[in-house]
Amino acid sequence: MDPYKALCLTESKDPFKALGITVHQDGTTSRSSIVSLSPAFLDGESLPGATTTVSSKDVPLNPSNDTTVRLFLPSSLPPSKSLPLVIYFHGGGFVLFHAASAPMHALCAHLAASLPVVVASVDYRLAPEHRLPAAFDDARDALLWAQSAVSSEPWIRDFVDPTKLFLMGSSAGGNICYHAALDFISSRLDINPLRLSGLILNQPYFGGIDRTASELAFADDKIIPLLTNDLLWELALPLGSNRDHEYSNVVVKEAKEVKLIPPCLVRGVTEDPLFDRQKLFVEMLVRAGVTVVAKMGSTGHHGIEYLNPDKAAEMATDVKNFVCGVAEFDAPGSFVPERNS
């Protein structure tokens, strides 16, 4: 199937049909496969335009929740224990897709090769079977898994610098990153010897009851039309909640832990219905004193990096510059946040 058509959600005016899901009276959910799954490539896979291969494998996260992590390791390796570790959370409105979904697998493989980094892509639990905060709980599991992996998982033990840990997510995955950071701070979670160096939020998925100008302007968006967006939140949020819940509308009541969040890269594109909410999020971070690299001026629609190789390369460059530059952010006055509009 053409990847653009596979990710488009306006094939039907019925948002359930657009998402390819059926919620049954007994609470179970059926999904039609709108994108194919990619196998892991333990012996390495070649990537378009890349001179290096990337190996991948699936490892358990929390067996009681049937969650896993897909690891990506580039074949072109620098000296041992020097690669950053990126824990990645895929998009899909908390309802769709997996770490093994072909577009998500390809994006993580590309990041691993082009930066280079070790990527740990989390196959977290999906709503509505597992409503929020289930995905946030799985993010906590991922941090604790990474802590143990420093000594137990060869790809982490042998190649990762534990002081270079980043949380990264696209769309709903960006939302998960943000809430995982708040939980990490508020709970004082001990992940020593790992150090959480930064967050990378690519087109993060936030919501609210009142419509923004970008939501109204792109109400019939091909990727995340307004009716489908509303349904995703209805399926993901705790029962009885609305879109002003703290998991969705993160700016309506600023969490006290925001000021302690590590440096953030926030990326948005101008034809995304979520663009205005992402700008409000950036403004909240800056207001709280968080170091922010805001890349908000690029053209394109929601999820464009999955479909356009040039945009995927642009994202990878932004991420690489951020990861390489984070060490400088600790020195006061050494960095001026970019606030593109």
CA 197, 338, 291: angle at the middle one, nearest 5? 30
Question: Can you tell me which residue has the tokens 């991922």?
Answer: 142
CA–CA gap between residue 99 and residue 105 (Å, rounded): 6
| Residue 142 identity | A
Does 171 participate in catalysis according to the annotation?
Answer: yes
The answer to whether the beta carbons of residues 47 and 53 sit under 8 Å apart is yes
- Find the catalytic residue in 90, 98, 301, 302: 302
Describe the crossing of helices 134-152 and 172-186 by its angle, rounded to 10 degrees.
70
CA–CA gap between residue 2 and residue 14 (Å, rounded): 21
DSSP sequence for 285-329: HHHTT--EEEEEEE---TTGGGT-HHHHHHHHHHHHHHHHHGGGG
Does 66 participate in catalysis according to the annotation?
Answer: no
- Find the catalytic residue in 170, 272, 276, 301: 272
Does 302 participate in catalysis according to the annotation?
Answer: yes
The tokens for 327 are 């060490």
**Which residues, at least 6 apart from 107, have a Cβ–Cβ distance to it below 8 Å?**
170, 305, 306, 312
- Find the catalytic residue in 170, 171, 197, 214: 171
CA–CA gap between residue 327 and residue 84 (Å, rounded): 12
Strands 264-269 and 292-298: parallel
Tell me the catalytic residues.
171, 272, 302
